[in-house]
A and B are shown apart, each in its own frame.
Chain A
Amino acid sequence: MSTYIAGVDIGNATTETALGKVEAGALMQCTKGIAPTTGIKGTKENIRGILHSLKAAAEEMDIPLTQLDLVRINEATPVIGDFAMETITETVITESALIGHNPDTPGGLGLGIGKTIDIRTLEEAIQEEEYIAVVPEQVDFSAAAQIINTQWQRGIKVRGAILKKDDGVLVANRLIQVIPIIDEVESIERVPLGMICAVEVAAPGRCIDLLSNPYGIATAFGLTPKETKQIVPLAKALIGNRSAVVIKTPKGEIRERRIPAGEVMIQGSQRVYRASVDHGAEEIMNAVAKAGDIADVTGTQGTNVGGMLEKVRGEMAALTEQERSEVRIKDLMAVDTIVPKEVQGNLANEFAMEKAVGIAAMVKTHKLHMERLAEALASELKRPVEIGGVEGTMAVIGALTTPGTEKPLLVLDIGAGSTDACLMKEEGETKAVHLAGAGNMVTMMINAELGLQNAQLAEEIKKFPLAKVESLYHIRHEDGTVEFFQEPIDSQYFARVVIMKPDGWKAVAAKKSLEVIRQIRREAKEKVLIRNILRALKRVSLTGNLNEFEYVVLVGGSSLDFELGNMVTEALAHYGIVSGKANVRGVEGPRNAVATGLLLSHLSQHEER
């Protein structure tokens, strides 16, 4: 007689089922089901997702749900992760002092220095002064050109122009002399009049030379050595631009401010380690490494980092119905990054690259309420439901069905919120670790470094390869291969970087080249995932020496990532470790490991009896 046993793995994102037909203690046939997890993992809302997943597997097996003899659900690892980004420097321009600007098509060429003046009052200008004309929206390009030409004939020295509209080239083409013209200055009304201003436009293909050099700015404005020191962040922000405007107001100042970003206090097994967020990720990670077994982590109150750690604690407390004070943060991961931030007091949405630190935290509590979920599921299904083994152990049992693996085996499960590693030794003994920082953190890094402010887009950049639409008929993939099409490509993608999603393309709005986006994507994965994998290996290792591992397999959703598998193989090959994506039961790929483990562990329990 055959019995039907189902293993159900409720993950943060998906609920997976492995349904087995068992005859005389041997697995005859196995089918799978997958459905999105409904509600937060470990709550009764999960039941809908579980039923969907079970039904899919049962349909494939061609049995009704009522014929199930046993449903085994995982004892979920009560781990939750969260992350935050903390900017530690900020460029502030006070009194609209000095701005940089880089429109697509500036006009003219060269460097012009003079007092800012509204073009409509240029008739009142005097011959002894030098001027920079400020052209508001109301004055169109031909009128602006005409006024400047007339004033030149009158002997007025107009040395450059700043335009609100995108008319720079049009004005330049109608002038009798060549002067630098900057256009697309969004907040032209904020340009102070009667102030000394320098405008620089470089030739096509060149970068500005004078205004990106602190001494160049000092020369233009006659700055003192002390003042020159202050404008370094400005010069830095202008490097690589084709054009720039710098205006000096008497009281104006620009500075790079270091924001007090707070401290993290890591309660180790022996003592408390403190690390200042301002000093970057390295100091925090050193403290984490020194602390060893972390008892809890707190942050300075009233700072971003403090707030974020308390938020994680609060969420976990609410989820598990525990007191806030009982929830402990068990791991922390920090990563240095550089993010574009809008300059405070800017005139045309200028950005400056600021240093920031990304932080992920992980919380462990008592068991999630899986018993309650099991009871609810049993009454819904009217079939027996039991809680199987620990998630990590189940994952290893499932992963061991991958052809070419053997014990001792280390299984890495890179999820959305945490990176879990479980080592099974030859005798079957297991050791599991859970680390903060995983898929979601990579998404956050991509989002921040590209300045997208769109987590959905960042997630897609993380998941799928890129291509550049080179003409209306062909694209170049990120590896350099060219693909041609019979039908013309939609004009909205023309000359853009697109994400090659399986269900269609998506244009990336960021003004970054494909190479830069790709590099940021890979670096984010390297900084978070690869580093975390190495950290996980060190933690489970007995000797601290990575060469002791032989087989490492990746399971879980993140291992479906198109490039992560290869990145891990590359990184671990260095230590002589065989690593790669799992192929559960030889057919499932990296999915279904825990569900399969739940099913198989039931069979082996029976054998023992």
Chain B
Amino acid sequence: MKSVPTLTKTELLILEQLVGNRELYGLEIIKKEPRLKRGTIYVLLGRLEEKGFVKSRQRVEANVSGLPRRVYAITGAGVAVRQAHRALDEALKHFGPAGETA
């Protein structure tokens, strides 16, 4: 049986920021979403990449000194899983406790 990749709330926040933007690096994502932490952003991006929801590449900039930057972009699977999560959230909003419709 094929395992279904899980998605945490924080990972979903990252996907939300990547949708609509071409490529972002960690600091740009944090500036857009202050609920994300600097210490964990790259760990979470690494996990999302392992799951196949985001892809990354090293940005090569001529005439720019300093450490190389790795930018992240959302994949098709990432867009699909985000839409599925949003649909699930919408569906759950219409149900109250004990299976009653709201």
Q: Does A associate with B in a complex?
A: no
